[in-house]
Chain A
Amino acid sequence: MKEYDVIIIGGGVTGAGVARDCAMRGLSTLLLERGDIADGASGRNHGLLHSGARYAVNDPEGARECIVENRILRHIASGCVEQTEGLFITLPEDSLEYQAQFVGKCRAAGIDAKAIDPKEALRMEPSVNPSLIGAVVVPDASVDPFRLVSANILDARLHGAEILTRHSVEGFIKEGVTIMGVKARDLSTGELKQFRAHYTINAAGIWGAGIAAMAGVRIGMLPAKGSLLVFGHRVNNMVINRCRKPSNADILVPGDVVCVIGTTSDKVPFEECDNMKVTPEEVKLLLEEGSKLAPGLASTRILRAYAGVRPLVADDSDPSGRSVSRGIVLLDHAKRDGIYGLVSITGGKLTTYRLMAEMTTDLICEKMSKNVRCTTALEPLPGSKGVRPSGQGLGSLAAFHRHGEDESKMDKDSEVLCECENVTRAEIAYAVRELGVKDMNDLRRRTRIGMGTCQGGFCMKKVAAALSEELGDGSKAEEFEMQYARERWKGMRPVMWGETLREAEYMRKMHAKK
């Protein structure tokens, strides 16, 4: 049996980043993901590339990490990042004293924060609440989390890593106190497989507690649900934050052609992590608070609601388990628990995923006595090297926005299938060929298919047929269509009134005929 240097459990941004780093440093690498990449919290957040400003007052170290990584990602992940910049606005009910303290703390953390005249803020970002009394510009940006994970996975593969999605870890191969590999079920065939490795890295986010438990290790985790709303178009072009103590629904992020308001924060039981629901109260709160940032939100259609789980880690130093550790948590279970061959990486933020991967890979290399330097901060990711699209038309331009220079690998003059998001048949073929797409939801995460105004109502039949053809199994079209309708429905339900209710009725007429 093949023995890998490392097995990484979890295909979120952390796992993807670790896989890339390990592969680039020449380790033989396998990544196992029980669903699809970016399926968990990595695909269910704001898509905010933090400048660190939000953490400057309460968590200076986190802030410093963010600004360093922010600068790195603007360079290596330019295809995933939009250099929108951000505003922290002070409203009449907030305090300008806090703003002054905030600017000082930002500067101390190395974040270029500049207080500007509120009128200037309105000029820069016309959607902002005109009653603002203070504004600070910070180097926040917008990052597409799906693309970021996909680009890391793609690059890991290009550097020799193996990626297996739909492989659920069910146990460890344990010899004494040493983890020698994992037992994972291939969910598409039902087969239980064994994979051996010198080191196993647990990067499974909130599900990492369960993974660790299989190895007999306890990680105290507190799942915290964060709900967000997606609006029909870009209301704002800059990230807008409230300049106050971090609170509910105080960040509005433009992401691709939509904008996202979030989040709420509520502790939830572990059982809910796999099927989170956004409640009417959360929707109301997000709208009320969001409209204070940009009043235009009150009259903009909401496409859907979703929720992710923050993997908050209980501080090891607090026996009560109530206090939460800040920042990145890298656990060497050999040192911590006397279990060898297992490392857990958790905590942290989307913005600091690369640093987390670097720290993890450094630890593994140290254990393997391999002296290879990390280069992930220098080498641009795939899709971040393009200058202009090679094809003509909106489909090619949109594909270029999504895949950078890899747009040139798609057939030209291809028919646009998803008209809301300008996804062509050729982009679907490319995603199947190169990005490991196995079903409609995978396809959505790689291409934005069905993420637009009609939520797939118009195109899902055509797309399902095209996808099953590309996968070489034409019989799957109907199953794909049903899978997609169910998945979109879930996100539409919490906001199903007004135009979304109209769309829902229409979608049912089109796709739910008995």
Chain B
Amino acid sequence: MQEHQISKADFEACMKCNICTEVCPMYEVNPLYQGPKKSGPDAERYRLKDPAFFDSNLKFCLNCKRCETACPSGVKVADIIQMAKLKYSSSTHPLRDTALSSTDLVGSVASVFAPAVNFALEQEVASKAMGLLGVDSHSVFPKYASEKFVTWFRRNARKSQDSFGSQVNYFHGCYVNYNNPQQGKDLVKILNACNVGVKLMKGEKCCGVAMMANGFRDRAAANAASNVEMFSKVDGPILCTSSTCAFTMRQEYPEVLGVDNSKVKDSIMLATKWLFEEVESGRIRLAFRQDFRMKVVYHIPCHLQRLGWQMYSIALMRMIPGLTLAVPEQECCGIAGTFGFKKEYAGYSRKIGSKLFENLRSANPQVVATDCETCRFQIEMGTPFTVMHPLAILAEALDIEITKELNETDN
């Protein structure tokens, strides 16, 4: 009795120490936002009494989860806020929010007409139209690839995957599929060199994070349920290259959407974690090019930090002999998924990012490494640097031929 005082999202455990308020990037730049403690555990008590205590300024919460990362009590502060938003608020930009949240649907249309869409995205008319729609006109919208990752995979990779010593599943996510297939190709390249085959899962749906952020709880929950069902049918690890997809499917499915993922949660992991553990245990061996040189600053995405798995990306990059790595204290880039693309928030988004941009400029690296696609958009918009996924750097640094030899099975 009373062993675990664990009411929903652990909000009873809040000791009111306010560390979350201190680390909240939105609270720092926006006086309208009350900060995570007041918006989350404090106000939740009052909302339970009367929904009139719902404060519409909760819309400013980035859901960056820095509050949860900082909390000494394990309170899921941001989850409490997200759940309140999903329960009490309604969108003021229904069309725009539907579009931004449908990363898969919009992506699949856009990629068919990729050159045209990309051209349009660059034009002033489009920028104005997006402005009317409520999309920030200064934002550079991510470009769409002409060949989806899954199409490339089917044409160029699928057949050979069974020939490798073992197999893993890959949850590519919307970004890899529509915007940056190269990231998926890099993973396939690395793993194949390590004698590991990659399998895509039939029926993969968008993880749902953008839907949640835009208030479409039911659609997100339907995707979650479908993905969990799909995961339960496959064997072996399910790797993600997107830290946000992994975070969403591991943590947010049960905690925000109420979708039970307990049977598959342990299988869902970041490709960086899986790869590092394979290397550390000696099951996989990596060889790197002698001529590779790169000066890298690593930006830890907020959601990766929330997962607590940042050290795996760092450790992998440290294995590369010619790479010099700097890891500054973690800062939020400010984009928060689709948040920074919205007209009414873009100013805050840039203001939050400015500290990170400043740090990056003073470090002046050749490449900024980060695991998150939207951090990448933001850093590309705010700085002159090339941004790469740690695995993309690894793929470039890897000596494919020697790695293949090292991992060939004897039998």
Chain B residues whose CB sits within 8 angstroms of the CB of A420 once the complex forms: 16, 42, 45
State whether A394 touches B15 (Cβ < 8 A): no
Task: Considering the complex, give the chain A residue whose CB is closest to the CB of B17.
Answer: A506
Task: Considering the complex, give the chain A residue whose CB is closest to the CB of B6.
Answer: A299
Q: Does A195 contact B (CB under 8 A)?
A: no
Q: Does A234 contact B (CB under 8 A)?
A: yes
Q: Does A133 contact B (CB under 8 A)?
A: no
Complex CA–CA separation, A50 to B63 (angstroms): 44
- Known A-B contacts A234-B45, A287-B2, A419-B42; the reply to A457 vs B52 at CB < 8 A is no
Choose from B4, B12, B18 the contact partner of A232 (Cβ within 8 Å): B12
Interface window among A358-366, A435-443, A477-485, A496-504: A496-504
Chain A residues whose CB sits within 8 angstroms of the CB of B130 once the complex forms: none
B3 to chain A, nearest CB (A): 8
Complex CA–CA separation, A298 to B2 (angstroms): 5
Q: Does A166 contact B (CB under 8 A)?
A: no
Complex CA–CA separation, A129 to B42 (angstroms): 27
Complex CA–CA separation, A257 to B12 (angstroms): 13
Task: Considering the complex, give the chain A residue whose CB is closest to the CB of B43.
Answer: A394
State whether A499 touches B53 (Cβ < 8 A): no
Chain A residues whose CB sits within 8 angstroms of the CB of B2 once the complex forms: 287, 298-299, 302, 497-498
State whether B45 touches A452 (Cβ < 8 A): yes
* Interface range, A side: 35 or more
Residue interface mask A254-268, B partner, CB < 8 A = 1:
101110000000000
State whether A453 touches B45 (Cβ < 8 A): yes
Task: Considering the complex, give the chain B residue whose CB is closest to the CB of A510.
Answer: B17
Q: Does B125 contact A (CB under 8 A)?
A: no
State whether B1 touches A454 (Cβ < 8 A): no
A295 to chain B, nearest CB (A): 11
Chain B residues whose CB sits within 8 angstroms of the CB of A458 once the complex forms: 16-18
State whether B12 touches A233 (Cβ < 8 A): yes
- Known A-B contacts A234-B49, A453-B16, A499-B12; the reply to A419 vs B38 at CB < 8 A is yes
State whether B16 touches A454 (Cβ < 8 A): yes
Q: Inter-chain contact count A-B, CB under 8 Å? A: 93
Choose from B11, B48, B53, B73 the contact partner of A394 (Cβ within 8 Å): B53
- Known A-B contacts A257-B49, A453-B45; the reply to A301 vs B55 at CB < 8 A is no
State whether A457 touches B46 (Cβ < 8 A): no
Residue interface mask B121-137, A partner, CB < 8 A = 1:
00000000000000000
State whether A257 touches B5 (Cβ < 8 A): no
Task: Considering the complex, give the chain A residue whose CB is closest to the CB of B11.
Answer: A233
Choose from B4, B14, B16, B45 the contact partner of A257 (Cβ within 8 Å): B45
Complex CA–CA separation, A419 to B46 (angstroms): 11
- The winner among A287, A453, A503 for most chain B CB atoms within 10 A is A453
Complex CA–CA separation, A503 to B16 (angstroms): 9
Complex CA–CA separation, A325 to B38 (angstroms): 49
Within 8 A of A (CB), among B205-252: none
B381 to chain A, nearest CB (A): 35
Within 8 A of A (CB), among B365-390: none
State whether B53 touches A233 (Cβ < 8 A): no
Chain B residues whose CB sits within 8 angstroms of the CB of A301 once the complex forms: 5, 7, 12-13
- The winner among B16, B50, B53 for most chain A CB atoms within 10 A is B16
Within 8 A of B (CB), among A402-425: 416, 419-420, 422
Q: Does A277 contact B (CB under 8 A)?
A: no
Q: Does B37 contact A (CB under 8 A)?
A: yes
- The winner among A296, A420, A457 for most chain B CB atoms within 10 A is A420
State whether A498 touches B5 (Cβ < 8 A): yes
Complex CA–CA separation, A301 to B45 (angstroms): 13
Within 8 A of A (CB), among B15-64: 15-18, 37-38, 41-46, 48-50, 52-53, 55
State whether A291 touches B46 (Cβ < 8 A): no
State whether B1 touches A288 (Cβ < 8 A): yes
State whether B7 touches A299 (Cβ < 8 A): yes
Task: Considering the complex, give the chain A residue whose CB is closest to the CB of B50.
Answer: A401
Chain B residues whose CB sits within 8 angstroms of the CB of A256 once the complex forms: 49
Complex CA–CA separation, A497 to B2 (angstroms): 9
State whether B50 touches A299 (Cβ < 8 A): no
Task: Considering the complex, give the chain A residue whose CB is closest to the CB of B3.
Answer: A498
State whether B5 touches A503 (Cβ < 8 A): no
Residue interface mask A285-321, B partner, CB < 8 A = 1:
0011001000010111110000000000000000000
- The winner among B2, B7, B14, B42 for most chain A CB atoms within 10 A is B2
Chain A residues whose CB sits within 8 angstroms of the CB of B52 once the complex forms: 397
State whether A299 touches B4 (Cβ < 8 A): yes
Chain A residues whose CB sits within 8 angstroms of the CB of B43 once the complex forms: 394
Chain A residues whose CB sits within 8 angstroms of the CB of B41 once the complex forms: 453
Task: Considering the complex, give the chain A residue whose CB is closest to the CB of B38.
Answer: A419
A63 to chain B, nearest CB (A): 29
B310 to chain A, nearest CB (A): 27
Within 8 A of B (CB), among A482-514: 497-499, 502-503, 506
Choose from A288, A394, A416, A452 the contact partner of B55 (Cβ within 8 Å): A394
Q: Does A466 contact B (CB under 8 A)?
A: no
Choose from B6, B14, B48 the contact partner of A453 (Cβ within 8 Å): B14
Chain A residues whose CB sits within 8 angstroms of the CB of B14 once the complex forms: 453
Complex CA–CA separation, A232 to B50 (angstroms): 16
Residue interface mask A268-287, B partner, CB < 8 A = 1:
00000000000000001001
State whether A298 touches B1 (Cβ < 8 A): yes
B70 to chain A, nearest CB (A): 16
Q: Pick 17 A–B contacts, CB within 8 A, sort by A.
A: A232-B7, A258-B45, A299-B2, A299-B5, A302-B5, A394-B53, A394-B55, A419-B16, A420-B42, A453-B16, A453-B45, A454-B16, A458-B18, A497-B2, A499-B12, A502-B13, A506-B17
Which positions in A face B, CB cutoff 8 Å?
A: 232-235, 237, 254, 256-258, 284, 287-288, 291, 296, 298-302, 394, 397-398, 401, 416, 419-420, 422, 452-454, 457-458, 497-499, 502-503, 506
Given contacts A398-B53, A453-B14, A453-B41, 10 further A-B contacts (CB under 8 A): A233-B44, A234-B48, A287-B1, A291-B1, A397-B53, A398-B46, A452-B42, A458-B16, A497-B2, A503-B15
